[in-house]
Amino acid sequence: MTVRGELIYINGQILFVEGQLDALRCVARIGRGRRCRQTIGLKTSDTRVSVRTPNGLVEVYQPLDSAAHSRQWLSQHCRLHHRIGMPDYLSPEWQPFDPRGIHRDAIATRPAT
């Protein structure tokens, strides 16, 4: 079974997230031990770029080039909970991208030229 997902490029590393990035929810714990319902929030100035991997080029999402924005994505918090340091309901759902292993069929690649 192939798991579909998207890639994000942060601080020189490619991370895999199952599903679609724009649906990724904040992992902060809110009242009564529930998970925050807010999404991480894509910015219109964020872009997609091609990054070379051992299997060829992959299209990845690259957030704004700011340390604060990268930390927000890596911690998987919405804008509100990133600022106030809420405890997490669960760990961030990122996985390091493994182009030769588990993720080799999850993302379309094109040969490096």
Domain that holds residue 10: 5-110
Q: pLDDT tens digits for 43-54?
A: 655 688 888 888
| Beta carbons within 10 angstroms of residue 25's beta carbon | 16
pLDDT confidence bin for 6, thresholds 50/70/90: confident
Report how many domains make up the chain: 1
In sequence order, which residues have a C-beta less than 8 Å from that of residue 50 and are 6 or more positions away? 57, 58, 59, 60
pLDDT tens by residue, 24-64 = 899 999 988 899 999 987 665 568 888 888 878 888 888 77
